[in-house]
Structure 1
Amino acid sequence: MKPRSQPFYPAQINLPLLRGLQQIAPWIVRLYYRLELVISSDPRVQLETLKGRSCLLVCNHPTFDDPKAVFLLSSLLQEPFYYLTAHEPFRGWQGWLYQRLGAYSIRRGLADRDSIAYTLNLLQQPKTKLVIFPEGGCSFQNDTVMPFRSGAVQMALQAISRKMKQGEAAPDLCIVPISLKYRYTGKMAPVIHQTLRQLEQALRISSEGDVYERLRRVGAVVIDCCEQEANLMPVPGADWNQRIARLKAEVLDRCEQQLEITSATTEPDRERVYRILNTLEAHHNTLMADGADALDVMFRAGRRVLNFDAIYDGYVAAKPTPERFLDTLIRLEREVFGIDQPAPKGHRQAFLRIGEPVNLKDYYAAYRADRTSTVNQLTRQLQQTVQQNLDILTEATSRGISW
């Protein structure tokens, strides 16, 4: 892997290109990505009320297709959105297109000053709509939310503070919680069986039992292989959750020691992984001198932790829906076949529920009195709202589950 060609990629919106793609996006996304958007707003929120307003849109991040779903929302509003996007995809023609559609980069796990400064400037502009996924990465979970990072709320309140210091009145800046959930529209049993067979053949294990027994057997073999690769001896009586937690902790500790990185004990695993991957990339040439094999091992180890970051035993058993089966199977495919983004498993509806906007102007006095407490409180509130609306979507869509 080569170092990135530049540290920061700003948005460079091309309005004619953007408008044209907004017009044809529903057909492209439906045909190529097998996806259609279904808006399901809070009854107190009318889609039209968001038009022409400065908004920070915070959304859960269950799949790699979430930016496409949000782009379809921008098409409905007929407004340009800005998107805070991971740094990795910006090289080449894809990155060029992302910039013209409003995306700009952030190097996750680092204090990316260029990206932060750019974000603060955007949030001070009138009628700006900025999309941030505050879970910090793709969760691969269709109906549960990972803990939100506080950076989105922090930057939004800081933008208001800067406007106030310039002698202006406190501006209206709304944070809009968005809940995104997917539902397969076809019968997915054949796809689940086919995916299981491919994994079983690759791992050379039997296909006996029902689909859940087979899924657990595949998962057990993958965990065994991961432990063997990490030279970890099995712990008698340990369940899957304990084994996965031990594996992630060991992998992160080893990589950080080898790269001489120090992390806080309370820091989320994702942030530690991003710092490891950024360090590997920044010092690529030096580390190559120590051996490409060792470098590849660390890259794979970091990606593995991200892949299993939010997985836990019982995820499928708690709600054995086609979506949860395929959430887990996609993770296993990524691990066994080394596929970063497996192809869509079937046609899906992306249910997008818009929650009631929170005007940060109303919280500015509390922010001045106690910044940390106010930011944390608002972050928890937004996470809870996204999860509550996700639960509403789950209840509504569960009546139409098709196997």
Structure 2
Amino acid sequence: MPHPIERAQPRLEFIPQRFNLLVYYAVKALLPVLRRFRLRPWLPAGIAQIETVNVEKLVNLYQEFQNGKIRFLMAFRHAEVDDPLSMMYLLSKAVPRVARQENISLQYPAHSYFLYDRGMTLWAGEWLGWMLSGLGGLSIYRGKRLDRVGLRTARDLFANGKLPISVAPEGGTNGHSEIVSALEPGVPQLGFWCAEDLAKANRSESVLIVPIAIQYFYINPSWKKLNSLLSKLEADSGLSVQPIGESIEREKLFSERILRLGEHVLSQMEKFSDRFYHQPPSTNSNQDIDTRLQAILNKGLQAAEQYFNLESEGTVIERCRRIESAGWEDIYRGDLPDFNSLSPLHRGLADWIAEEASLRMLHMRLAESFVAVTENYVKEKPTFERFAETSLILFDLISRIKGDKNPARPRLGWRKTRVTIGEPISVTERFSNYQKNRVGARQAVDDLKRDLQTALEKMI
């Protein structure tokens, strides 16, 4: 079964950025190893190449930033957990190289502050918080209704920090190189806060948001490894294994195989939810997979929302955030400052509610993982990359249900990353609309979020 958190925990404290040159240069030196092997050197199939596009735009922005003319935020696509390594390469390797080629003098390191989810340290360990802090990262308590300390710190760094700032506007990974999830409002809001702070201080810098696309490609796709992965998933899900040999219709056969697996897993989840969620069936097998998938995600979220007494309102991501907030409040107890003074009875009750909340949150984790999944992703463009991404998402789902703790994703071959710098979007030019009134401010944030989404999608 899935592994819940079994013990109540103290409140998660904010981890500030403490940029340290020794940490920075150590990670920079290890970057070639990290991007190839990450933390599992026995799986040598990571990122072999990183291609950068339009880096001269970023070099010019750094020059203007260092000359006190602009403040800027880099809004990067967040498809995979490897994205920060690609960003580190962009700033520490590509930017200095292009600056030398263009005879542009920059102050080094050309780095940035960045935001990361406070929950990352829960599965990776406290050492990760120390390292990310030393690299200039500050934690955001994503599961909190309003992380005032984190947001206030990020706002101050954007307006006054010695470095630019980087944020993933999607808020989390979606596993798809070619689908941009719906953006959260945090990046546009940070942009307008920065413009507001500069205006109050009578400063003349312009505020910009720079869209950055990150996309992955397999250099030599290993159809044999993909076949092995699908065979394992078929066996784990109770399907007959369908090995595929050499065929001129290979893409068609793999597409049909993945859709068959997805259909089977979906039907099993539907049967499970119809029997145990105590909700009326909302779909039938005649509907398309996308409709049925959204229905099962909705039922899973409702199962969690009913427990936490939450309204089923907003987008899937908004609902996931509310569930996460409610769950973390039951697990990381700010109302219990001294756990050592608790009686065994009170400690037992705290642990009970923490484990219950953790189990309920698993519904949200599954929905969060599948928010961008669509049947057409494989059908419209049957490429190895899309097959691999969809298969790995199914691997994550089945692993969670099996109860595998932190399963190591199979590696399907060496990959190349392409990092593309887009045209900067001026926040300053939109600031007058933001200043009008509350309605104008909300509309300005929504418009900027829409334009940023469009910019990221156009770079795919």
Give the TM-score normalised by the residue count of structure 1. Answer: 0.88
The alpha carbon displacement at 1:261 in A equals 2.1
Kindly indicate whether the alpha-carbon contact (under 8 Å) linking 2:303 and 2:363 is maintained by their aligned counterparts in 1: no
Equivalenced residues, count: 384
Whole-angstrom distance in 2 between the partners of 1:315 and 1:352: 22
1:39 is the counterpart of 2:52: yes
Q: Does residue 378 of structure 2 align to residue 316 of structure 1?
A: yes
Q: Deviations over 1:244-288 (max 9, x none)?
A: 11111111122112111235x2x2212222321232232137574
Change (3 A) 1:58 1:341: farther
- Select 1:241's aligned residue among 290, 293, 296: 290
- Within the candidate set 376, 380, 393, 2:446 is matched to 376
- The structure-2 alpha-carbon separation of the partners of 1:73 and 1:260, relative to structure 1 and needing over 3 Å to count, comes to same
Residues 108, 275 of structure 1: 8 Å contact kept: no
Amino acid at match of 1:89: M
Q: Is the 8 A contact 1:57 1:177 kept in 2?
A: yes
Residue 190 of structure 2 aligns to a residue whose secondary structure is helix
Asked if 1:277 is matched to 2:333, the reply is no
Mapping for residues 37-186 of structure 1, pairs under 5 Å = 37-41=50-54, 45-52=56-63, 53=65, 54-76=71-93, 77=95, 78-90=109-121, 91-109=125-143, 110-125=145-160, 127-166=162-201, 168-186=202-220
Q: Give me the whole-angstrom Cα distance separating, in 2, the residues matched to 1:255 and 1:46.
A: 45
Aligned to 2:335: none
The Cα of 1:352 is off from its aligned counterpart by 0.4
SS in 2 for 1:173: strand
Separation in 1, partners of 2:26, 2:454? 36
Aligned amino acid, residue 289 of structure 1: W
CA distance in 1, matches of 2:321, 2:218: 31
CA separation in 1, counterparts of 2:25 and 2:456?
Answer: 29
Query: In structure 1, what residue type is equivalent to 2:435?
Result: R
Q: In structure 2, the residue corresponding to 1:216 is in which secondary structure?
A: helix
Q: Is residue 271 of structure 2 the alignment partner of residue 228 of structure 1? A: yes
For the Cα contact (< 8 Å) 1:185–1:349, is it kept in 2?
A: yes
Deviations 1:220-251, CA, capped at 9 Å, x for gaps: 22112222332354624222112111111111
Native 8 Å contact 1:8 1:105 kept in 2:
yes
Of the three residues 412, 437, 448, the one matched with 1:345 is 412
Q: Following the alignment from structure 2 to structure 1, what is the Cα–Cα distance between the partners of residues 407 and 358?
A: 15
Match of 2:42 in 1: none
The one-letter code sitting in structure 1 at the alignment partner of 2:167 is I
CA distance in 1, matches of 2:211, 2:353: 46
The 1:22–1:372 alpha-carbon spacing in structure 2 relative to 1, beyond 3 Å, is: same
2:305 to 249, 256, 274: 256
What is the CA-CA distance between 1:372 and the residue it aligns to? 2.1
Deviation at 1:290, TM superposition (A): 5.8
Question: Residue 297 and residue 230 in structure 1: after superposition, are their counterparts in 2 closer, same or farther (change >3 A)?
Answer: farther
Pairwise CA RMSD: 2.3
Report Cα offsets for 1:358-380 as digits up to 9, x if no partner.
23223222322332222222221
State the distance in 2 between where 1:17 and 1:297 align.
37
> Which residue identity is paired with 2:412?
K
Q: Which residue of 1 aligns with 2:17?
A: 11
Q: Which is further off, 97-106 or 233-242?
A: 233-242
Cα distance in 2 between the residues matched to 1:290 and 1:85: 27
SS at match of 1:206: coil
CA contact (8 A) 1:334 1:341 kept: no
Unaligned runs of 5+ in 1: 391-403
C-alpha displacement of 1:305:
0.6
Q: Which stretch shows the higher mean deviation, 302-311 or 203-212?
A: 203-212
Question: In 1, Cα distance between the equivalents of 2:11 and 2:265?
Answer: 35
**SS at 1:262's partner residue?**
coil
How far 1:63 moved relative to its partner?
A: 0.9
**CA shift at 1:4, angstroms?**
5.6
Secondary structure at the residue paired with 2:419?
A: strand
Residue in structure 1 matched with residue 101 of structure 2 by the alignment: none
